[in-house]
Structure 1
Amino acid sequence: MADNLETLTGKIWTSALDGDDHGAADAALAALGDGLPVEDLLLNVVAPIQRQVGDAWAANEVTVAQEHIVTAVSERVLAAAARHPAARARHVGVKGRAAVACVDGEWHAFPARLLAEVLRLDGWRVDYLGPHVPTPFLPIHVREAEVDVVLLSASLPTRLPAAHEAIAACRETGRPVLAGGAAFGGDGRYARLLGADGWAPDARATAERLTAGPAPGETAYEGSNGGTGPAGQEHGHPTTPTGQEHGHPATAPDREYGHLTETAQELIDTVMWRLGERIPAMAAYDNRQLKHTREDIGHLIDFLAISLYVDDPTLYSRFLLWMAGILTARNVPEDTLFPALDLIATGLKGCPRARATVEHGQEALRREHGKDRPGHPF
C-alpha cells in the first residue's frame, strides 16, 4: 500500500507541476476505482503534496506561480474525489452540522477545504464558508443554520488578531470553537491562548477530536485550565490584550502592540532609508529589489507585532530562522537581517518588550547561524 501511495503521489505531483489537472484527477479516480479509500487519497496523497510544494517554494525550487498551479490542481483532485460514489454515499450528516471557515484576511483556504471534505466523509453535514470570512457574518450563520460546532482555520500568525475576534464572536453563540492551521503553533498554544475550545493539528485529528467529544473534566472540547493569555493575562478567563473578558473584543490594543501597528509604515520608511547606509550594495538595487526589501522589512515588523500580541518572543525567533532560510535559498546573505533588526530595535523607543523580543530573535539567529533551516517556522 505504501508503495502504491508513493507512486500515486509521484504521478499527481508531476501532473500538478505541469498544470495538468485532468491527468491528476484521472490518476486519483483510477486509484479510487481500484479500492483506495477516499480518506487515504486526501490525507496521504493530496495533503502531503501541498506540504511538498510549500517546502519546494521555501527552498526556491518552484516559483510562486507554480505553487499556485499545484494548489489549483490539488483542488481539482479533491473536487473529483468528493464526487466519487464512494464519497457521496457517506455525505449523510448524521453526526451534526459543522461550519468550516478561514478567518478574516486568511486566503490560504485549501487546508480548510480539505478538512471540510474529511468531516463530510466522517458523517458531518458541513457548511464550508471558504477563505477570508468577515467576522460579523460568522455568528449570524452559526445561529441561523443551527451549527453544532465551528472550525476556524488560519495559516499565518499575522491572522491571529482576526482569529481572536472570530473565536470570541463564535463563542458568544454558545457553540464550541475548534481552531486549526499553522498560525496557532505546532502544539496549538495560540488556539488555547485566544480562547478556542480545542485545537487539532490536521484534518484526521480534527475528525477524531469531534468524535471523541469533551475529555473528562472539560466543559467543551479543550477548556481553559491555566497558562497565560495575550499580554500576560490569565488563560483561565480568556482575555483580550487590554484585559477585557474574552467575548468582548478590545477597543484599544496593548500599548506596545498598538504603537507598533500604528507606526509600522513610518518605521519601515526609516529602516529603508538607514539600511542603505549599512548595506552599500543597496545603492545598485533596482526597483524590484527595493520593493522586495521593503516587503521583507514589513514582514519583520508584522511578525514582531504578533509576537507582542501573544506575548511570545519565540514566535519571532522561529520566524527569523525561517526567513533566514528563505533568504539563503535565494542567494541573499542572511547576515543582512542583522542590520535591519538593529535599525528596527533603534526605532522602538519606549517599547521595552518589543526591543527584548528583537534581541531574543537576534540571539537565536546568532546561535543557529549556518545551520540547516526547518521547512516551516510554526
Structure 2
Amino acid sequence: MSELNYLYGAPLSKADFKTTAEDFMVDEELGIEFTGSGEHVCLQVVKKGENTQYVAKLIAQKAGVSPRDVSYAGMKDRHGVCSQWFSVKVPIKKHIDFTELNSESVFVVSQQRHERKLRTGCHKGNRFTITLRNVTEPLDILCRINAVRAGVPNYFGEQRFGRDGHNLVMAEKMFAGERIRDKKLRGIIISAARSHVFNQIVSLRVAEHGLAKTMHREVFMLSGSNAFFEDAISDENIARLASGDIMMSAPMVGKSEKGLTEQEKTWLAPYQAWCDGLGELGLKNERRMLRLIPQDLSVETLDERTLKLSFGLPKGCFATALLRELVDYTDASPRERKEKDNADEDSIK
C-alpha cells in the first residue's frame, strides 16, 4: 500500500504493529438476535495466533462434518486476539459441547441455536484495539487523530493481495490465459485483482480531488445498502451527503462500463487490461464507499513510546487503511508465525 496516495500526507512517526498477539485485538459485532432454536449452532470463538480456516476445521471435526459445512461472518487475521462467530449445522436432537475445543489458542465463549446459518458479510462490523510500540513521533499521531476522525480513503489492506503481492502476480497470469483450477484460490485472486483496481482509482482521486471535494457528477451509494445511482451535484445531494443518507463511491469494476462517470473511465484507462480481464469473468458492476469513517476513535498514551488505539469499522473495511494515515507502521509479527503463514500460502499455490 506504500504507493497509494495519503489523504493527509505521509505520516512522520514510525511504530511497530503486532509485536504481540494482544497488540491487535478484534471483536466482531454480529448484530443478529438468535432464535434459540433451529438446526444451526452459532459459536462465538476467541482465537489467538490461529486463522479462521483452522478454527472452522476444528469445529467441523467436532461436529463430524466437512469444513465446507462450517460458515462464518468474516475472515479474521491470524496475528492477533480475535473474537468472531461461526455456525455449523447440527441436528436439533443432538447436543455437542463445543467448549471441549478450548485450548491456549482457541476459546469458545458461547454457543446458541439459530434457524439460519451465518453467511459471509452478515455482521455489522468490527471493533479494533491496536497497540503501537516504539513510536518515534507520538505527537504527530495525536495531531492526526482529529483529521482521521473525519475519514480516510477506504483502501483495501495489503493482506488482500497476499504475501509480497503474490495474488496480483497470479491475477496477471490468469488474465494472460493461465488456468487456475482451485476454485477457492481463483476466487481469492479475482477479489485481489478487483481490489487492486479499486485502490488505484481511489488513490488517483485522492491526489486530484481529495475526498471532501465533489465532482460535477458522482455515483452515490445509499447508506446501509449496495444500491447506487449516478447524479449531478445538487443542493439536495449535498444535504443528503451531510446527513449520511448517501455516500460517495468508487467502482468495483465488472462486465461493462455502465455506472462509471467519465472521470472514472479516464482514471481506469491505464488499467484497461485488468478491467478487460475482470469483465470477461462476467462480474456484476458494484460500488464501494470512497471514505472510511471510524466509529468512536480514541487514543490512549500508555507511555512515551506506546499508544493504544480503539475504533470501530463497518464490515469489509481494513484497520490498516486507517492506520497508514496515522503512522508509518512495521508489522512486527514474530518470525516463527510469519514462517508458518508462508508455509500455509505455499501449500495452496
Higher helix fraction (1 or 2): 1
Q: Which protein has the larger Cα radius of gyration, Structure 1 or Structure 2?
A: 1
Q: Which has the higher contact order (CA 8 A, sep 6+)?
A: 2
* TM over 0.5, shorter chain: no
Higher strand fraction (1 or 2): 2
Q: TM (normalized to structure 1)?
A: 0.27
Q: TM (normalized to structure 2)?
A: 0.28
